[in-house]
Structure 1
Amino acid sequence: MTKKFYAVKQWLDNTENGESINTNDLIAYVDGSKLNNIEGYGSGVVILDSKGSLVYKKSFKGDQKKYLDSKQIAGETNATLHAVGWAIANKYNSILIKYDYIGIENWATGSWKANKKVAIDYKNKINELKEKIKIEFSKVKAHSNNEFNDMADMLAKSALEDDKHTENSNGSHSLRGIENEDLQALIKIINEDKKLRVESFEDSDDNSENKIIYKFYDKDNNCATVTYFKKICYV
């Protein structure tokens, strides 16, 4: 069995063991991601038509404060709603959602009670959309070399990776792509200028090995804090 044939067979299967064949107009792979040093969550969507051809893909970031504590799950629900909305806007009658987080199906079907805001809003919106399109669900094992699930995963991550500058809801800013050597050179210049002074220390939380805290003080001892993340952590 060739790799291409196996990939086509995967999206055709409506169940994990391949016992039934998909009969929906569209198959949508959805995923979410969270990057620990950027406030917000990423969503990835990959949509195939009934013949297995790629017809749409989307990578986007969300940062609604009411969903931030749900991390990548908010990215998963947003991806699902986006996929269904796209199908409706393009006048399709049915869609199969391929997900790797079980809440996507269980909240929609009522198997799980929706308690958090992200789940409540997702369930309510899915109930509205069900009036306009047939929606079915099928679980895909995460990180199992499924071509289209992996593609959705990468799109969700890239929504955060490509965001070089983010203004967070608490007023702070996140910048990506700055090397520690460049930051150290800037700090040296600032300290030599003597208009500001900079102090640094390791963070004391559970991720202390990943962070360095820099405090910038002016002549009146007012302080601005910069957190440098030494590595990127995805979820």
Structure 2
Amino acid sequence: MTKSKQELYIESQKLIDFLNSQNIKSTLNEESFRDYHVKIKTAYGTIILYHKPSKNSFSLGTHELPEPSKEIISLLWHQYNYPQEQNIIGLCAYVDGTYINEHTAWGLVLVENGNVIKEDSGLADIFSEEGTRQIAGEVQAVLAALNFAKENNIPSITIFYDYQGLEMWATKKWKAQSHIAKFYIQQLLTYDIEITWVKICAHIGHIYNERADILAKTRALQSE
């Protein structure tokens, strides 16, 4: 067995054990085993686990599932990959921004105690220089999350982000030099809310981060 195939086998067994622990009967389809993917039979239908050795990463294919089951399995895949998030009590915000065809937009997913309580998006109305337009969307998403917390008298929030500047400027590890960075710092000072920052990698299949990205892009494209 090749190293790649061995890694895939180990990961597939871990995933199967997890699904079974969630009362979703799952078994490996031995005949489907290849170097870079394998099929897993579940109570909802067949899913495909893909392996990318160059990045030592795994992704899940749900295209063989009926529509109602795709969302359930996707949420379980998220829980499998990010178990630490299940222990976070309180309000969590997943933020993203985009710049498409001269439109800057932001997307926001709010989760409380593991449940999505709100999705929001909009066009960024913050002035930004060339090269910082997508960042303006990221910033506005953070401010939208803080506004929600303030309006609902929530004293603390955990913000998940993929653009590092959001945390670095807020914690003064980066010096705010651009207009958007200075504006961001000034706005943060107006909120008496405790923020916990969590960096996540962009476009790796994080379900709420991907959803925030889709919300932002959809809003930008709707403005065409």
The two structures share one fold, judged by TM-score above 0.5 = yes
Larger RCO (alpha carbons 8 Å, 6+ apart): 1
CA contact (8 A) 2:129 2:179 kept: no
Matched residue, 2:110: 47
CA contact (8 A) 2:109 2:120 kept: yes
2:138 to 62, 73, 76: 76
Whole-angstrom CA distance in 1 between matches of 2:112 and 2:218: 24
Residue identity in the other structure for 2:197: F
Name segments (4+ residues, structure 1) moved above 4 Å.
Answer: 9-12
Residues 12 and 85 from structure 1, CA distance in 2 versus in 1: closer, same or farther, beyond 3 angstroms? farther
Instruction: State the Cα distance separating 1:153 from its structure 2 match.
Output: 0.3
Residue identity in the other structure for 1:121: F
1:112 to 171, 174, 187: 174
Whole-angstrom CA distance in 2 between matches of 1:150 and 1:6: 13
Whole-angstrom CA distance in 1 between matches of 2:79 and 2:112: 11
Whole-angstrom CA distance in 1 between matches of 2:145 and 2:95: 8
CA contact (8 A) 2:139 2:184 kept: yes
Residue identity in the other structure for 1:128: T
Residues 9 and 22 from structure 1, CA distance in 2 versus in 1: closer, same or farther, beyond 3 angstroms? farther
Whole-angstrom CA distance in 2 between matches of 1:105 and 1:154: 22
Matched residue, 1:33: 98
Whole-angstrom CA distance in 1 between matches of 2:80 and 2:172: 29
2:128 to 59, 62, 67: 67
Instruction: State the Cα distance separating 1:126 from its structure 2 match.
Output: 1.2
SS in 2 for 1:44: strand
Question: Which protein has the larger Cα radius of gyration, Structure 1 or Structure 2?
Answer: 1
Instruction: State the Cα distance separating 1:76 from its structure 2 match.
Output: 0.2
Residues 121 and 10 from structure 1, CA distance in 2 versus in 1: closer, same or farther, beyond 3 angstroms? farther
Residues 128 and 12 from structure 1, CA distance in 2 versus in 1: closer, same or farther, beyond 3 angstroms? farther
Provide TM-score, normalisation by structure 1.
0.60
2:196 to 123, 136, 160: 136
Whole-angstrom CA distance in 2 between matches of 1:134 and 1:53: 21
Mapping 1:175-190, distance limit 5 Å: none
Matched residue, 2:52: none
Residue identity in the other structure for 1:85: N
Residue identity in the other structure for 1:27: C
Provide TM-score, normalisation by structure 2.
0.63
Instruction: State the Cα distance separating 1:62 from its structure 2 match.
Output: 1.7
Residues 10 and 82 from structure 1, CA distance in 2 versus in 1: closer, same or farther, beyond 3 angstroms? farther
Q: How many residues are aligned here?
A: 152
User: Do residues 86 (structure 1) and 131 (structure 2) align?
Assistant: no
Query: Can you list the C-alpha shifts for 1:176-226, whole angstroms capped at 9, x where unaligned?
Result: xxxxxxxxxxxxxxxxxxxxxxxxxxxxxxxxxxxxxxxxxxxxxxxxxxx
SS in 2 for 1:143: coil
1:13 to 72, 84, 95: 84
* RMSD, aligned α-carbons: 1.9
Whole-angstrom CA distance in 2 between matches of 1:116 and 1:161: 27
CA contact (8 A) 1:11 1:27 kept: no
Query: Can you list the C-alpha shifts for 1:134-179, whole angstroms capped at 9, x where unaligned?
Result: 1110001100000000000001101111113xxxxxxxxxxxxxxx
Residues 29 and 10 from structure 1, CA distance in 2 versus in 1: closer, same or farther, beyond 3 angstroms? farther
Whole-angstrom CA distance in 1 between matches of 2:151 and 2:195: 14
Residue identity in the other structure for 2:88: N
Gaps of 5+ in 2: 1-17, 20-72
Gaps of 5+ in 1: 165-235
SS in 1 for 2:128: helix
Whole-angstrom CA distance in 1 between matches of 2:195 and 2:82: 16
